[in-house]
Structures are given as C-alpha cells and as structure tokens.
Amino acid sequence: MTNVQTILSQLGGSRFIAMTGASVFSDGENTLVTKFKGSKVANIMYITLNSMDTYDVRICKYSKLNVSTIKEVNGAYSDMLKPIFENCTGLRTSL
C-alpha cells in the first residue's frame, strides 16, 4: 500500500469519498490532494507525510485561480486527521 492510499484509508477510505463527494489525487508519493464538496469554508485539502512520520495538513479554499489557506496543522498524528477535517469544514467523514 502506498503512502497516499494509507492516508486515504486513515481518513475513512471510500466512506470519506462518499460522504464528502471527494475527488482524490496524488501529488508525489507522500502527498494526498483531495477536492471535496459541501463546505462553504473550504474545498481542497493537502495532507503530506513528513520526515517525522506525522502529517502536515493544509485545508484551503480554492476559487477563481486563487488558493487561500484556511487552516494549517503541522505534526498531526493519523488519529487526528478526521477531527481536523471535520472541525474545519463542518463535514462528516462517516455516518
């Protein structure tokens, strides 16, 4: 399993995709990029596995070729990914 697949499974995998309408992309072998629907606050997220074996999470709002960072968390553990996403966007990742 690649790092990107691992990150996606830690978010909830296919349940995360179904609940958020996410499109999942890979930006290299250590970064997951996902676009999602349903939140007025943000619509794109970057999660990168860093050298400390933790994650750097950046949740952004993309509109009209402008990307503004809404929330950035460095050094997040895998069990923190869902709460970070849910608290920032207001979207649920599972039922």
Q: Is 6 helix (H, G, I), strand (E, B) or coil?
A: helix
pLDDT > 70? residue 50: yes
Confidence of residue 64 (pLDDT cuts 50, 70, 90): confident
pLDDT > 90? residue 71: yes
Question: Given this model, what pLDDT does residue 1 score?
Answer: 57
How many other CB atoms sit within 10 Å of the CB of residue 93? 21
Structure-token pair, residue 58: 């950046």
Report how far residue 83's alpha carbon sits from residue 92's, in angstroms, rounded to the nearest whole number: 9
Contact 31, 47 (CB under 8 A): yes
Report how far residue 42's alpha carbon sits from residue 84's, in angstroms, rounded to the nearest whole number: 13
Q: What share of the chain has pLDDT > 70, as a percent?
A: 99
Contact 43, 23 (CB under 8 A): no
